[in-house]
Amino acid sequence: MTRPLDLSSETHPLLIVVGSGGVGKTTLAASMGIVSAAAGIDTLVMTFDPSLRLKDALGVGHAAEDDEIEVPLPASADGRPPGVLRASLLDAGKTFDRLVARYAPDDGSRERILSNRYYRHMAGHLGGILEYMAVERLYEVAAEGRYQRIILDTPPTSQAIDFLEAPQRIVDFLDSGALKIALRPWFDDGGGLKATSSLGFVGRGLERFLDRIVGMNLLRDMSEFFRAFEPMFGGFRQRAEKVEGLLGSPDTLFSLVTGPGESRIPDTLFFARRLAESGYRLGPILVNRVHPTFDDQGAVESAGEGQGGIDTDDGGALFRWLGESHHRGLGQLRSLMPDGQQVVDLPLEADEPTDLVALRGMGERLQRRLTERP
């Protein structure tokens, strides 16, 4: 059984915040980081593309793209000395470039890779590369051991599941037969296909065929890229496996952030099941921005079929409906989750947090909900 998440204790040194785009992962990750550091735990929050508001709140600008920037913590109420809080922004392209720079055997091959057309187009767009680079960075920082806790805010995928599949996709890619074939010296000095030139007339036919279908330029670029990359493959593959191992380590806890409403439930269930199947540990599911219900509303009038036109100006009816439908979705999600799965609902707040104090308030409310006895 996975220990429940407690941001103020030193359990769970790696916390990975996942969820679909637009559910508020980044803000929650930042608020968790503050609570963690405020409890005396040295914490790094790694994040992708936070909003301007959040960047301002954390006080991190472009500098955080290359470095980890120290976030000044608001004073603690209980007088406990706070830990260090740092934030860094992740950029997939830069992380990939940095890997190439580190693992390339010499300057020549580094330059060949970085300037290769295929690499430049692929580096940002190969399926899952952004997600993979996030874990890759996590691995790098975790291995350095400078922090007691790292909170990774994952890239905004359309589905949370994309993130989990990324390392395996990279390993598959590295293992694929295509790679072995691509590593053959395909082209002779004249730029023609080696394999086909030995076939004489037939070979030239094949070359024309390939050229017609995909164009030799692309093949040449791809082949060049793979050849330049070859000396790095071994290390890269090993790393991808270690990265995968890190995701499955008992130290690593996933927290799934989702939005309220029934339409989100299938995604959430799917993700929870996939995590379990992969042997990963799912911590709390955070249902974010749940519309509160208000006591004095009286009976909820359903805006169901049969009713006449909808009065879009009737805020009261809208808020009743939102509160009711969000809580209905929440109830359904809870009933569908296995016993012992923590599902924490976080209410939609009147104001978005715009500074560290507000973020900390948000984190503390979350921490109370996480640690309260059911």
For the CB of residue 209, give the shortest distance to another protein in the complex, in Å.
Answer: 8
Q: Name the residues that contact another protein, by CB under 8 A.
A: 20-23, 51-53, 117-118, 121-122, 125-127, 156, 158-159, 173, 176-179, 181, 211-218, 221-222, 259, 261-263, 292, 294-297, 303, 305, 310, 312-322, 325, 348, 350-352
Please report how many Cα atoms fall inside a 13 Å half-sphere around the Cα of residue 150, on the Cβ side. 24
CA–CA separation, 136 and 100 (whole Å): 13
For the CB of residue 227, give the shortest distance to another protein in the complex, in Å.
Answer: 15
For the CB of residue 249, give the shortest distance to another protein in the complex, in Å.
Answer: 29
Q: What would the 3-class secondary structure string for the chain be?
A: CCCCCCCCCCCCCEEEEECECCCCHHHHHHHHHHHHHHCCCCEEEEECCCCHHHHHHHCCCHHHHCCCEECCCCCCCCCCCCCCEEEEECCHHHHHHHHHHHHCCCHHHHHHHHHCHHHHHHHCCCCCHHHHHHHHHHHHHHHHCCCCEEEEECCCECCCHHHHHHHHHHHHHHHCHHHHHHCCCCECCCCCEHHHHCCCHHHHHHHHHHHHHHCHHHHHHHHHHHHHHHHHHHHHHHHHHHHHHHHHCCCEEEEEEECCCHHHHHHHHHHHHHHHHCCCCEEEEEEEEECCCCHHHCCCCCCCCCCCCCCCCCHHHHHHHHHHHHHHHHHHHHHHCCCCCCEEEEECCCCCCCCHHHHHHHHHHHHHHHHCCC
The Cα diameter of the chain in Å comes to: 87
CA–CA separation, 336 and 189 (whole Å): 63
Nearer to another protein, 4 or 156 (CB): 156
For the CB of residue 181, give the shortest distance to another protein in the complex, in Å.
Answer: 6
Nearer to another protein, 3 or 209 (CB): 209
Nearer to another protein, 10 or 349 (CB): 349
For the CB of residue 160, give the shortest distance to another protein in the complex, in Å.
Answer: 11
Nearer to another protein, 13 or 260 (CB): 260
Other Cβ atoms within 10 Å of 1 Cβ, number = 5
Nearer to another protein, 114 or 303 (CB): 303
For the CB of residue 121, give the shortest distance to another protein in the complex, in Å.
Answer: 4
Nearer to another protein, 9 or 51 (CB): 51
Nearer to another protein, 351 or 372 (CB): 351
For the CB of residue 288, give the shortest distance to another protein in the complex, in Å.
Answer: 11
Nearer to another protein, 69 or 174 (CB): 174
For the CB of residue 80, give the shortest distance to another protein in the complex, in Å.
Answer: 33
Nearer to another protein, 74 or 347 (CB): 347
For the CB of residue 238, give the shortest distance to another protein in the complex, in Å.
Answer: 21
